[in-house]
Chains A and B, each alone.
Chain A
Amino acid sequence: MDHDIRGSVSGKTITIIVILISIVGLWILGVVYILEQIGEEEGDQDLVIYAYESFQSYGLGPSVIPQFEEKYGVNVTVVTPGDVGTVLGRMNMEKEDPIADIVIGVDNSMLFKAVDMDLLEPYKPENFYRLDPTMNFDPENYVVPFDYGYIAIICNRELMHERNLDVPEDLLDLADPQYDGQMLLLDPSTSSTGSSFMIWAASAAGEDYSSFFEDLADNANGHVLGSWDAMYSQWSEGEAPIAISYGLDTAYEMMWYGTNNTITVVPDHQGYRQIEGAALVKGADNRELAQKFLDFILTDEFQSQVYNNYMLPVVPGIEIDQLFVEYGQDAEVHIEPTTHQVKINYDDWNEAWRQAFYN
């Protein structure tokens, strides 16, 4: 039978099939060769760092990692699978055999989750004394803080004027009916900035946080976004005059566009700092080098670069950009809760937020 099958195929068909298969085969070989080449360029991995995307894309990573590599003659790989939530989610999946040695971006709003899930290991660097003591949000030393920034209300100067709106003086003002439909908020369950904002709002409102969330939900009018970058770009395009962002946004605008259309509101009596830290991953393969990296974080070399992140150094006395000095603001009273307070209240706050916004 086989003989019959072969016999009935014309030579032309066979030729065409053979040519086709050869082209495809050669193509595969070529592509695989190129990909192997590209993959090999990275070399050995002495230290693996997991970080949120903008650690690389804003430029903090690219400005400090090479310094560290040179200092110790090692090769560092930075992996950025998404935002901090995604990074922690991924580490949670790799718990049994962690790939990362260091995680960058664990902040004061989410440290408790990472500790709860047993992802981190405490380590106190020898130069820990350099840290501004008010920045030490973790008495158990699971994280080494590396930068901080205020969560702030930002207003589009032009639109505020056009629509005759008063610039809010503090966070509770956002409940005022004049802001109905005038703001973009962030979803705390998908955005880490949003999660900081929720904690800030709950701390500012105190006992009445549930009703404040209700008022916020009324005024937000459904304008709640899933990620900070989507929110910021839509706010820049004039979708709404008010949004939730960072304290150095005016400086940022000046720096990149040379314009000053952003009014940044950091309420004096309601300061909330997002303090970001790096941590040793539990079960890390390269512990020693990882610890060296954590020591490196509080050195001048690292701290003088955090401006790349549009954040401020956590070691006193580091010189900062003139624009940051000019347009940055400090609050007199800080209301960020301790890690312990966040831990015991987070679920209640989150539930109140859900009920207010999604019910």
Chain B
Amino acid sequence: MISGEQIMELQGKKIRVWMRRSIGYTIPMIFLVLFCLYPLLLIMKFGVVNDEGQFTFRYLIDLVTDRIYLKVIGFTFTQALISAVITLVLALPGAYLLSRYKFPGRSMIMAASTVPFVLPSLVLAVGFLGIFGAQGTINNFIVDINGSLGTTLPPVDILYTKKVIILAHIFFNFPIALRILYSRFGTMDTSLENAARSMGAGRIRTFFTVTLPQMRYSLLSSFSLVFTFCLLSLGVILVIGGLNHTLEVEVMSLFKGLKVHHGGALVIVESIIVLLATLVYIWSSSKEGSRADVALGEGVSKWSGRRPTSITTILIVIYILVVFLVIFAPLTSVGMESLVSETSGSGLTLEWYEQVISTQNDPTISISPLGAIINSLLFGSLTMILSVPLSIITAHMLHGSKFKRKWILDLLLLFPIGASSVALGYGLVKAYSGSPYHLTGTWYIVVLVHSVIAYPLGARAVYSSLRSIPPNLIKASRSMGAGPIESYFKVKLPLMMPGILVAAVFAFAISIGELGATLMVSKEAFMTMPVFLYRMIEGGGRHFGAMNAFAVILMGITFLSFLAIEMIKRIFMKWGVNN
């Protein structure tokens, strides 16, 4: 017989689970709905409602019957696909090497690899010009070898072509793919790998037949992210993409041309494409089932200590060289540019850095460079504090959900990642500028917007880690007498740490690098580093060198911040292992 007390208890437990779940769903969703979904829907509404307030498909039909828009849609899709595949292929070995071998400067590389993520596209253009431009390193090199062939055009002419767009996308998205794959490799259950190796499979064979299949979910997850980012590419196209417009560029054109109805309609079309891509991703990730999470794993720490053999050392070195060319050479080129004097032939100089400091007295920039740096760090830290817990809660919801619910959640989480940044900017103004909720110009709208953009990204990363924790491990810790809280903090949380770290890094990086929405909702006094940089860029030629110098400062601060996050992670991991 079940006693009344037991029934009460059972009911109490049910209520608690229900409460926990509804709170878990509600809190992240409130943010998402208020600061992303609602503003976006306001913009999309323009696309199907005319000035008289009547529902119409006219604008949508205009778009899909226009040959040029169809071409744009096709190109947007193809370039995203190609960029995402190459990015993943390039990031995979890096993530593997970084997670499996110990070598000096590993955390430095991790921190540095995140830097491109925060770089404004105009600075990227400087970097790319320095390498691939008509007067860039490659062309100068070829001309030096062959001599001038009498041709008036540069031998390598890839600027403004589709090729350079893909290169730039790899440059920007490599860090994302690397981070996610790295965290997955790090938390992966290695017992299968060990088994395969002990049964005589070679390392490479093991990698392709055992390790890689276990990575499917993470591969898909990073593919879908990178694909979506490339789909929504804007800045790269504007500065070096030439006539190869993406949908986002067309959205921007329409809103600047005050054609809000067609703009709204194009945002709908764009969202549908992002949606389709995500559906494919959700569908295939559901097929994967839970096969990847098998036996009790040995966790993270054991693998990361191994020293590389000599062949792998060579491989690592070759790989690093390749990555260096694509990712770090453009950055280096910006660095060089910041040290070269405008007046030709006078060698290296620090004058641009002096100019950055002297903007303190420049009436055109109402805030000192230090002020902008401080603002960025303040916003970055608040964004991190707000969005990391949101990421963790959401990841648990994703993990605990049955397929049906997870499906909807996955879809909702897509919105901030897959939202047109142009539409989001205008939508936020539409929703929160003027009565009744006048939030533009406050500090919290900046933090809220940054967090909403960041946390779904983090949630996916945390989820990826969470998924790889064998459920038996938690059960084991519980059976050994740990309470749910104890076992959560001592077993689960440390195992989730790589994912949480990714969430923190993304949150910080997005906050520090975000420009479009910040320009729309922020105000002069809250100028962040990218806005400061934008002000310098718009200041024209006299700030050009100083712009590069400030870009280097932006990169440096980003790098140091990520290094600090790595350090904090280490402390946490130690705490988790020792306890």
Contacts and interface: CB of A to CB of B under 8 A. Distances in A.
Contact of B258 (A27, A92, A233): A92
A5 to B, nearest CB: 5
B134 A238 contact: yes
B434 A222 contact: no
B537 interface: yes
Interface residues of A, number: 93
A13 B375 contact: no
A59 B238 contact: no
B257 A10 contact: no
Contact of A38 (B67, B122, B526): B526
Interface residues of B, number: 86
Contact of A358 (B71, B520, B540): B71
A190 B153 contact: no
Chain B CB within 10 A, most for which of A7, A12, A224, A253: A224
Contacts of A96: 434
Contacts of A35: 378, 443, 526
Contacts of B129: 234, 237, 239
Contact of A31 (B159, B378, B526): B378
B4 interface: no
A44 interface: no
A157 interface: no
Interface string B131-143: 0011100000000
A310 B72 CA distance: 37
B490 interface: yes
A267 B539 CA distance: 27
A22 B436 CA distance: 35
B78 interface: no
A354 interface: yes
Interface in A281-309: none
A326 interface: no
A238 B159 CA distance: 13
Contacts of A32: 382, 443
A344 interface: no
Contacts of B483: 4-9
Contacts of B543: 57
Given A57-B365, A99-B433, 9 more contacts: A7-B483, A17-B489, A35-B443, A225-B239, A252-B540, A252-B541, A257-B342, A257-B343, A310-B540
Interface of A: 1, 4-10, 12-13, 16-17, 24, 27-28, 31-32, 34-36, 38-39, 41-42, 53-54, 56-59, 61-63, 77-83, 85-86, 88-90, 92-94, 96-99, 113-114, 116-117, 162-165, 181-182, 187, 189-190, 222-227, 229-230, 232-234, 236-240, 252-253, 256-259, 310, 354-355, 357-359
24 contacts: A5-B484, A5-B485, A7-B483, A9-B486, A27-B381, A28-B382, A38-B526, A39-B526, A42-B524, A78-B524, A79-B524, A93-B426, A97-B435, A165-B152, A190-B238, A190-B256, A223-B159, A226-B238, A229-B540, A230-B122, A238-B133, A239-B129, A358-B71, A358-B243
